[in-house]
Amino acid sequence: MRRLVLGAMLLLAGCAAPPPAPPPPSKPLADRLVLSPARFEDLPGWRRDSAAAALPAFLKSCERITRMPFDASIGAQGVGGVAADWMGACGAARRVPPGDDGAARAFFEQWFTPWQAANNGKADGLFTGYYEPELNGSRVRHGPYTVPLLARPGDLVTFDPGSFRPDLPHEQLAGRVMNGRLEPYPARAAIESGALGDLARPLVWLDDPVDAHILHIQGSGRVKLDDGTVVRVGVAATNGRPFVGIGKLLADKGKLPAGSSMPVIRAWLRAHPDEAGALMDGNPRYVFYRMVPGDGPVGTEGVVLTAQRSLAVDTRFLPLGAPLWLDTVTPKGVPLRRIVVAQDTGAAIRGPVRGDLFWGTGDAAFDMAGGMKSPGRYWLLLPRERSPRLAAAGAD
């Protein structure tokens, strides 16, 4: 009898309904800037920064903003308000005595309100660095100078899909018209194999393909010519292809560990010239250049960048010209807390809490920029004229 009961129980267990299937994985939240009001006392290290060192960078942005119509929107979705909101702060900034940290700090406290930036509910983000390379070049091809920096080709067309239809994204794409149709522009490997022929003329010739590739990653640079002169070059356009970092390409091939610093990557590429070319061609994006007169480098905002005070950001979320309080660490693990100004963009700088700090020019800047991959946060400093309206709209 006991065996019959046990058998019945086993039968019932076998007929039981299977456990419910696990729910499908939820889709990641779309990037969204969320601003929460803060006080200057909330900013880590606020009173220890040399605030006066940030004013020259901010004043450069003011030169652009104060030339705009009063009702011009500052930043995507009007996050920065309108140009009129900034006029008083820009005027007051010009009256701050140069080099006076106390006066500069008081200026920011009087004219701005801090708002902590977050991606949905996440305030932590990633901060990297970039720099202005110094390269060796010549105006004519000869000897070691065999790597061209090409000017914008005559058949390159740039366009913004969002300007054609409201349901398409706003982004800068590139192509060329072939047989009456707009087609993608050739990728890096094809361009470096001569696919453009005479459509793109060389601006200068460089002596190192690795340095040339790093320049394509950084954007702008200084070229020391063999005639003793120095010229600056900046981005004129790209071929519109997606950017793939050389570090990822090396890691995917098992050549270097993921997350290797740029100095380590450069050393590997130079030590393996037979493999370097094909690996660098794995980044399909190609940059075309123009000569940049005067001081530089010039960021996307159109102003000269300031070493360790200019930040590249994602302009889908943050307005160019806005000061921010940055809280991160250097590649050596030292706290890096200071006022920076959003003045540039970058192909890999995507998201509401993402920044790329400009470290300056030359090898010392390269060592810092190339090794920076730090967690951190920032607070957006908005004019008090703008802040009450932002608070009323429920920014957080």
pLDDT in tens, 272-329: 999 999 999 999 999 999 998 888 888 999 999 999 999 999 999 999 999 999 999 9
Give pLDDT, residue 162. 81
The dihedral over CA atoms of 332, 337, 342, 348, expressed in degrees to the nearest 10, equals 30
pLDDT of 259 over the 50 cut: yes
| Beta strands 157-159 and 147-150, pairing class | unpaired
d(CA 169, CA 161): 6
Q: Is the bond preceding 242 in cis, omega lying within 30 degrees of 0?
A: no
Tell me the whole-structure pTM to 2 decimals.
Answer: 0.76
The string of DSSP letters for 18-36 reads PPPPPPPPPPPPPP-EEEE
Give pLDDT, residue 15. 45
What are the structure tokens assigned to 346, written together? 């970058």
- Write phi, then psi, for 113 (nearest 5 degrees): -125, 135
Nearest to 192 by CA among 200, 183, 181: 200
The string of DSSP letters for 79-120 reads TT-BTHHHHHHHHHHTTSPTT-HHHHHHHHHHHEEEEEEEET
d(CA 144, CA 207): 5
Which region among 8-22, 253-267, 296-310 has the lowest average model confidence (pLDDT)?
Answer: 8-22
What average pLDDT does this structure show over 256-263? 91
Look at residue 148 and give its three-state secondary structure.
strand
Look at residue 387 and give its three-state secondary structure.
helix
Q: What pLDDT band is residue 173 in, cutting at 50, 70 and 90?
A: confident
- Write phi, then psi, for 204 (nearest 5 degrees): -145, 170
Q: What pLDDT band is residue 341 in, cutting at 50, 70 and 90?
A: very high
What average pLDDT does this structure show over 109-130? 96
d(CA 376, CA 334): 12
Taking only the tens place, the pLDDT of each residue in 120-147 is 989 999 999 999 999 999 999 999 999 9
Q: What is the CATH code of the structural domain delimited by 134-291? A: 2.40.240.50
- The percent of residues in the chain predicted with pLDDT above 90, rounded, is 76
What are the structure tokens assigned to 382, written together? 């908005």
d(CA 346, CA 350): 8
Taking only the tens place, the pLDDT of each residue in 48-89 is 999 999 999 999 999 999 999 999 999 988 899 999 999 999
Triad 324, 395, 52: Cα angle to 5°: 15
| Beta strands 202-206 and 125-132, pairing class | unpaired
What is the DSSP secondary structure assignment for residue 185, as one 8-state letter?
A: P
Give pLDDT, residue 23. 58
Of the spans 154-163, 312-321, 358-367, which averages the highest pLDDT? Answer: 312-321
Q: Are 334 and 89 in contact (CB under 8 A)?
A: no
Which residues are CB-neighbours of 235 under 8 A, at least 6 positions away? 219, 220, 287, 288, 289, 290
How many Cα neighbours within 13 Å face the side chain of 182?
10
Which residues are CB-neighbours of 285 under 8 A, at least 6 positions away? 188, 216, 238, 239, 241, 242, 243, 244, 347
In CATH, which superfamily holds the domain spanning 33-129+300-392?
RlpA-like domain (2.40.40.10)
- The percent of residues in the chain predicted with pLDDT above 70, rounded, is 91
d(CA 295, CA 235): 15
Question: What rounded mean pLDDT belongs to the chain?
Answer: 90
d(CA 188, CA 213): 11
Going from N- to C-terminal start, the domains of the chain cover 33-129+300-392, 134-291
Give pLDDT, residue 168. 82
Look at residue 337 and give its three-state secondary structure.
strand
Helices (H), the chain: 2-15, 55-65, 84-93, 101-111, 188-192, 209-218, 246-252, 262-271, 273-280, 363-370, 387-392
Total residues belonging to the chain: 396
Counting beta carbons within 10 angstroms of the beta carbon of residue 255, is it exposed (0 to 12), middle (13 to 18) or buried (19 or more)? middle
Give pLDDT, residue 3. 42
